[in-house]
């Protein structure tokens, strides 16, 4: 591969890793806000590698207070951090600013990406379980928080949360200036982070913005007491938020394109195509039945479970058919330009989409003796899903260019 190609590929991997690392880092800050009293048990260390002096007692009773959801989440989280630490501890010396250069940075980013690809999906799944049981987990967290002295909560929690986030960004090789900016911004909104699971970790910048606006409102009410330091702190927080939103939107857009590319490669292999030049619009599992419509008769086929894959120029129906002892996949390809009508119907508590199309649209005209019509019926669990599929397919057909 040419050198430019290698550099471009590395940039994509770096941005993918950065987007995942920001997720991990924000989640770490959140966990720190709830679970810093467990630092001794979980071996959370400061940047100097020493345990915080505020947390040298045994917290095994408190550990049990949090329940299985939190413990599973912490287990996944520690696996990621330990995996990253193995690489960074064995890496070469960084420069005076704590930055890695040359081939070490490329090697480092590659290894980091591998760890994240293995660890982050497991942690996301654990986090989803935590959110699903949020009421119970929040009750346990508040119970644990109540057992911690207020001075520890206000000072030590914030310091350790900021320190953990700085180290997380260091593991990725983020420059020192950006590490400081992000960690200080996260520390500013630590109290807002404590209620974050009620919505989702992705809403972090919104909570940070809300925290800043509250501080600005308080400052405007008490304008006589505000000093230059307070004004500078709020201005810096706004600058941090702008930088965080900008980098999150950039890396998430890149990550989305990388994930879409990976999915298209998987589809190309699954559909046994030489290439896919169109765009993936939507996909999902359905129950399918094919009908052949003649002038006086309607022959309906049996229902099969399958997967619907809607591209910008083609609708694929991948059927799972059981034959003898093995399950084989049969693929039906429906060019969007052959679709004649799409309609939605309700059947009891289910929804159905009827797609009528001409199966001979791509055949030579002189070989078609009589125009046929086929109909594929998609059975969905409810009316809403049926309406969504009907809308997506109709829009894709209407968006076709004359050449398609």
Question: Per-residue pLDDT tens for 269-287?
Answer: 877 777 777 788 888 888 8
Q: Which pLDDT does position 363 carry in this prediction?
A: 62
pTM, entire model: 0.42
Question: Per-residue pLDDT tens for 233-267?
Answer: 666 656 655 655 665 555 455 556 666 777 787 88
Domain-wise residue ranges, the chain: 3-264, 272-398
158 CB-near residues (< 8 Å, 6+ apart): 187, 190
Question: Considering the chain, what is the average pLDDT of its residues?
Answer: 63
Cα–Cα distance measured from residue 298 to residue 301, given in angstroms and rounded to the nearest whole number? 10
Cα–Cα distance measured from residue 388 to residue 122, given in angstroms and rounded to the nearest whole number? 30
**What are 112's two structure tokens?**
């980091």
Q: Are 38 and 145 in contact (CB under 8 A)?
A: no
CA distances from 213 to 137, 184, 206 (A): 28, 17, 10
Q: How confident is the model at residue 176 (pLDDT cuts 50, 70, 90)?
A: low
Hey, which of 21-30, 33-42, 103-112 has the most confident mean pLDDT?
A: 103-112
Q: Where does 272-398 sit in CATH, by number?
A: 2.30.29.30
């Amino acid at each position: 591969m040419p050198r430019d190609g290698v550099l471009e590929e590395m940039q994509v991997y770096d941005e993918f890793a950065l987007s995942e690392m920001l997720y991990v880092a924000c989640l770490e800050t959140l966990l720190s806000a709830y679970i810093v009293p467990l630092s001794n048990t979980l071996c959370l260390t400061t940047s100097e590698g020493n345990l915080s002096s505020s947390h040298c007692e045994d917290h095994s009773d408190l550990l049990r207070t949090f329940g299985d959801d939190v413990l599973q989440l912490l287990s996944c989280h520690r696996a990621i951090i330990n995996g990253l630490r193995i690489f960074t501890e064995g890496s070469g010396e960084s420069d005076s600013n704590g930055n890695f250069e040359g081939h070490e940075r490329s090697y480092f980013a590659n290894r980091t990406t591998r760890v994240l690809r293995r660890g982050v999906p497991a942690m996301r799944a654990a986090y989803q379980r935590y959110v699903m049981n949020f009421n119970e987990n929040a009750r346990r967290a508040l119970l644990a928080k109540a057992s911690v002295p207020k001075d520890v909560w206000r000072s030590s929690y914030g310091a350790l949360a900021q320190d953990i986030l700085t180290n997380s960004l260091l593991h990725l090789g983020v420059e020192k200036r950006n590490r400081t900016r992000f960690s200080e911004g996260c520390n500013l909104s630590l109290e807002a982070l404590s209620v974050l699971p009620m919505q989702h970790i992705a809403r972090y910048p919104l909570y940070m913005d809300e925290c800043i606006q509250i501080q600005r409102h308080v400052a405007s009410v008490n304008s006589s007491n505000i000093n230059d330091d307070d004004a500078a702190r709020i201005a810096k927080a706004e600058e941090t938020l702008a930088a965080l939103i900008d980098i999150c939107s950039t890396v998430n857009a890149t990550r989305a394109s990388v994930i879409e590319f990976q999915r298209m490669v998987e589809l190309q292999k699954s559909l046994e195509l030489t290439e896919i030049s169109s765009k993936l619009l939507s996909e999902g599992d359905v129950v399918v039945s094919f009908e052949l419509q003649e002038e006086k008769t309607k022959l309906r086929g049996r229902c099969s479970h399958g997967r619907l894959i809607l591209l910008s120029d083609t609708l694929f129906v991948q059927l799972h058919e059981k034959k003898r002892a093995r399950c084989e996949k049969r693929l039906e390809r429906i060019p969007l330009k052959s679709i004649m009508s799409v309609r939605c119907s309700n059947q009891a508590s289910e929804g159905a989409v009827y797609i009528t199309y001409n199966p001979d649209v791509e055949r030579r005209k002189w070989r078609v003796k009589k125009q046929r019509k086929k109909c594929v019926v998609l059975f969905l669990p409810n009316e809403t899903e049926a309406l969504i599929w009907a809308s997506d397919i109709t829009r894709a057909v209407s968006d076709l260019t004359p050449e398609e």
